[in-house]
């Protein structure tokens, strides 16, 4: 069974850097085709894809946020880390991680339960 779980701070201050961790089980990011994505959702608003990291360490970023995002992986811990710099109140959102499979499965399934991050001084 594939599961993912997000963790990180619930509150960050404006201008700070956010670091979120996705810990997963049921698959390995050393397996060909496996990918982990980050998606966010501001309260009451739509979903927004942020970034993806692949088993071969290829990385992809949102066009509008790519200057602020960095995604990385620690295969020994089955973790993917997303950092977002220069946080602003508009970045307040629930942040999800989800799996896709390169070449085959570009829909998100499964998802983690999400972690709410509030940006406020």
Partner 1 sequence: DIQMTQSPSSLSASVGDRVTITCRASQGIRGSLAWYQQKPGKAPKLLLYTASRLESGVPSRFSGSGSGTDYTLTISSLQPEDFATYYCQQYYDTPPYTFGQGTKLEIK
Binding site for partner 1 (CB under 8 A): 37, 46-49, 52, 60-63, 96, 100, 105-114
Specify the residue, 99 or 119, whose C-beta has the smaller distance to partner 1.
Answer: 99
Closest separation in Å from C-beta 76 to partner 1:
26
In the bound complex, what is the minimum distance in angstroms from residue 78's beta carbon to partner 1? 19
Q: How far apart are the C-alpha atoms of 21 and 80, rounded to whole Å?
A: 6
CB of 49 to partner 1, least distance (A): 4
> Least separation, in Å, of the C-beta of 33 and partner 1?
14
Closest CB to partner 1 among residues 60, 83: 60
Rounded to whole angstroms, the Cα distance separating 62 from 108 reads 16
Cβ proximity of 84 and 95 under 8 Å: no
Nearer to partner 1, 16 or 49 (CB): 49
Residue 30: CB atoms within 10 A of its CB come to: 12
Nearer to partner 1, 46 or 90 (CB): 46
Dist. CA 40–CA 20, nearest whole Å: 12
φ, ψ of residue 91 in degrees (nearest 5): -85, 0
Ramachandran class of 55: left when φ > 0, alpha when ψ lies in -120 to 50, beta otherwise: alpha
């Amino acid at each position: 069974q594939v599961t993912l779980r997000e963790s990180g701070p619930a509150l960050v201050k404006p201008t700070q850097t956010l670091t979120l961790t996705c810990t997963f089980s049921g698959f390995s990011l050393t397996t060909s085709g496996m990918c982990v994505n980050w998606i966010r959702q501001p309260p009451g608003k739509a979903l927004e894809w942020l970034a993806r990291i692949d088993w071969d360490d290829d990385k992809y970023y949102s066009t509008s946020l790519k200057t602020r995002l960095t995604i990385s992986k620690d295969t020994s811990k089955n973790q993917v880390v997303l950092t977002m710099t220069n946080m602003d109140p508009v970045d307040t959102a629930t942040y999800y991680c989800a799996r896709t499979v390169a070449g085959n499965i570009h829909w998100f399934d499964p998802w983690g339960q999400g972690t709410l991050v509030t940006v406020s001084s």
